[in-house]
Amino acid sequence: MSQLINGVFVTGTDTDCGKTLIAGGIARALLKKGHNVGVMKPIATWGDPFREPGMKRKWVSEDALHLRLCAATSDALDLINPVCFKAAMAPWPAARLEKKNIDVERVMMAYRELCRRHDYIVVEGVGGLMVPIKREFFVLDLIGRMHLPVVVVAHPALGTLNHTLLTVAMLKHKGIPLAGVIINNFQGKTRAEKSNPTVLRKILDRRVIVVPHQPRFLSNYDALAHHLVKEGLLRWPHLP
pLDDT, tens only, 186-227: 999 999 999 999 999 999 987 899 999 999 999 999 999 999
pLDDT tens, position by position, 101-112: 999 999 999 999
pLDDT of 135 above 70:
yes
CATH superfamily of 7-40+104-235: P-loop containing nucleotide triphosphate hydrolases (3.40.50.300)
Question: Terminal CA-to-CA distance of the chain, rounded, Å?
Answer: 19
Give residue 58's pLDDT.
72
pTM score: 0.95
Domain boundaries, the chain: 7-40+104-235
Residue 142 CA to residue 139 CA, distance in Å, equals 5
Measured in whole angstroms, how far is the alpha carbon of residue 119 from the centre of its chain? 18
Residue 155 CA to residue 174 CA, distance in Å, equals 23
Q: Averaged over 221-239, what is the pLDDT? A: 96
Catalytic-role residue among 19, 32, 33, 41: 41
Annotation marks residue 202 as catalytic: no
Whole-number mean pLDDT of the chain?
Answer: 93
Give the count of beta carbons closer than 10 Å to the beta carbon of residue 196.
25
